[in-house]
Amino acid sequence: MKPVAVIPVYNHKGTLRGVVTGVLSQGLPCIVVDDGSTDNIVHLVDDLDCVIHSLPKNLGKGAAILAGARMAGRMGYDTIITIDADGQHDPKDIHVLIQAAQECMPCIVIGERMGMEGPAVPASSRFGRKFSNFWVRLECGAELPDTQSGFRLYPVEVLLELPFRCSRYDFEVEVIVRAVWAGIPVKSAPVSVIYQGKDVRISHFRKFADNLRLSLLHSWLVLRALVPVPHRQLVEREVEKINFAAVKHPLRFLRQLCQEHSSPGMLATAAWLGLFLGALPLIACHTIVIIYVAHKLNLNKVAAVGASQFCCPPVVPVLCIETGYFMRYGHFLTDASFDTLVLQIHQRLWEYFIGSLVLGPLLGFIGAAIVYGASIYYRKRGCESG
- The domain segmentation of the chain, as residue ranges, is 3-226, 245-385
How much is the pLDDT for 259? 52
Going by pLDDT thresholds of 50, 70 and 90, the confidence category of residue 93 is very high
Three-state DSSP state, 93: helix
How much is the pLDDT for 263? 83
How much is the pLDDT for 370? 92
Q: Which among 246, 254, 237 has a CA at the least distance from the CA of 371?
A: 254
In the DSSP assignment, the letter for residue 16 is H
Q: Is the pLDDT of residue 205 over 70?
A: no
Query: Poorest-confidence range of 14-23, 91-100, 198-207, 303-312?
Result: 198-207
Q: Is the pLDDT of residue 234 over 60?
A: yes
How much is the pLDDT for 198? 55
* pLDDT tens-digit series, residues 64-89: 999 999 999 999 999 999 999 888 89
Q: Which among 370, 366, 361 has a CA at the least distance from the CA of 273?
A: 361
Going by pLDDT thresholds of 50, 70 and 90, the confidence category of residue 249 is low
- Length of the chain equals 386
CA distances from 358 to 47, 100, 139, 222 (A): 63, 47, 25, 21
Who has greater pLDDT, 125 or 5? 5
How much is the pLDDT for 26? 93
**DSSP per position, 133-187:** HHHHHHHH----S-TT---EEEEHHHHHHS--S--STTHHHHHHHHHHHTT--EE
Going by pLDDT thresholds of 50, 70 and 90, the confidence category of residue 137 is very high
**What average pLDDT does the structure give for the chain?**
86
* pLDDT tens-digit series, residues 264-297: 888 899 999 999 999 999 988 999 999 999 989 9
- Cβ atoms 168, 118 nearer than 8 A: no
What is the Cα–Cα distance from 175 to 136, expressed in whole angstroms?
10
* pLDDT tens-digit series, residues 251-269: 555 555 555 557 888 889 9
Task: Report H helices in the chain.
Answer: 16-25, 61-74, 94-101, 123-140, 156-161, 171-181, 207-226, 253-259, 264-279, 286-296, 301-308, 315-329, 338, 345-385
How much is the pLDDT for 243? 52
Going by pLDDT thresholds of 50, 70 and 90, the confidence category of residue 189 is very high
* 260: Cβ contacts below 8 Å, ≥ 6 apart: 267, 300, 302, 303
What is the Cα–Cα distance from 90 to 117, expressed in whole angstroms?
18
How much is the pLDDT for 156? 95
* pLDDT tens-digit series, residues 364-376: 999 999 998 988 8
How much is the pLDDT for 382? 63
Q: Which CATH number is correct for 3-226, 1.20.1440.120, 3.40.50.2000, 3.90.550.10, 3.30.930.10?
A: 3.90.550.10
- Kindly give the pairing relationship between strand 79-82 and strand 108-113: unpaired
How much is the pLDDT for 180? 94
Q: Is the pLDDT of residue 206 over 80?
A: no
